[in-house]
Amino acid sequence: MSKSIHGGNIEELSRKFNLDKEKLIDFSANINPLGINEKVKKTIIAALDNVEKYPDITYHNLKSTISNFEKINYENLVLGNGAAEVIFNLVRAVNPKKVLIPAPTFSEYEEASLSVKSSIEYYYLKEENNWSIDNDILSLINEEIDIVFICNPNNPTGVITKKDILLSIIEKANKTKTIVAIDESFLDFIRDSYKYSLVNLLKEYDNIFIIKSLTKLFAIPGIRIGYGITSNIDIINKIQGISVPWNINTLAEVATITSLDDKDYISKSVKYIEVEKKYLFEELGKLKDINVFNPSVNFIMFKLNKNIDLKYELMKENIIIRSCSNYNGLNENYYRVAVRTRKENEILIKALRKVLKYNI
């Protein structure tokens, strides 16, 4: 099976289309537009000499920092080389016969499931229902479903699933002995994210498995770090049994510890993205050939009502956006753009007006 297309593949695109990667503006990857925290950069540089030594195989300091940040017990945590490894490790550990996946959503749930030959049932989200998960998903949860994957907020739609819906899913899944894997990788981009997170329900339900990525909020996708949280010690032990030792490198470890300790950077990022998200959403909404979907996070999905290859046309303007054509449940009319700096967002809007042949 070939890997799905992801955003952020600047190197590949620059080779394929003979583009100058130094001139490209990447709207395809949902990374914090403020860029890497200077404190983190200094920490990484200072830790370079430590790469001559193995990391602590128990990752005590790293796990302690994450546990304090999430307000969870240390033993309820598993680490991964990015959220993708956490997803694959969960599937490899549980070896589900059948999984339930909404569509469209993040492709790694499907890829991980197919890697262990799981059968997949899809719950198709509807545009006319604002791409929301509703209680009708409950009818698909039964004893045959071993894992339900839910991305919250969802990628690429940007929609948050209501907490009461999630609770209904968890309660139904608890009766059928089904694991509910909830990917909260983009939740930290939202103000008062604790209101939407299910971390506080871990003590009540042992069928919840929460997935988190730190590379997006802290703008360090080249340093892979993610983790999973569950109160189900059996799942923890199974994942640890199949995990590769030293899967987190020294630089990722120190970068994570410094990042999570800098609450000011997190707060500044959330406020900045709120402003730019509003600006970009409103400007996209002014383009008559585009139906834009209201975002909750740092990326925006829209539908183009015009017969052009928008991704290709924007590459001529040195702009990379994400085509959603390979998402199950979407087609070539759907695109996703990341929220970036004001200057970059203005460049995108100007380029869109040009390729859509509006007066500029």
pLDDT at 358: 83
* Residue 26 phi, psi (nearest 5): -95, 100
Q: Which residues in the chain come in under a pLDDT of 50?
A: 1-4
Does residue 152 contact residue 117 with C-beta atoms inside 8 Å? no
Residue 193 is which amino acid? S
Residue ranges with strand state E in the chain: 25-26, 77-80, 98-103, 119-124, 147-151, 179-183, 208-213, 226-229, 290-292, 299-304, 319-320, 322-323, 334-338
pLDDT at 193: 87
* 3-state SS track over 27-66: CCCCCCCCCCCHHHHHHHHHCHHHHHCCCCCCCHHHHHHH
pLDDT at 192: 87
What are 241-286's pLDDT values in tens digits?
A: 999 999 999 999 999 999 999 999 999 999 999 999 999 999 999 9
pLDDT at 99: 98
d(CA 88, CA 85): 5
The reported pTM is: 0.92
* CATH number for region 10-30+264-355: 3.90.1150.10
pLDDT at 276: 97
pLDDT at 24: 87
For 16, 147, 177, the CA distances from 185, given in Å and listed in that order, are 30, 18, 25
The domain 38-261 having CATH identifier 3.40.640.10: the answer here is yes
Same topology between domain 10-30+264-355 and domain 38-261? no
- The DSSP annotation for 186-242 comes to TGGGSTTGGGT--GGGTTT-TTEEEEEESTTTTT-TTS--EEEE-S-HHHHHHHHHH
d(CA 275, CA 298): 10
Q: In what order do the strands lie in the sheet with 334-338?
A: 290-292, 299-304, 334-338, 322-323
Domain regions of the chain by residue span: 10-30+264-355, 38-261
What are 191-227's pLDDT values in tens digits?
A: 888 889 999 999 999 999 999 998 889 999 889 999 9
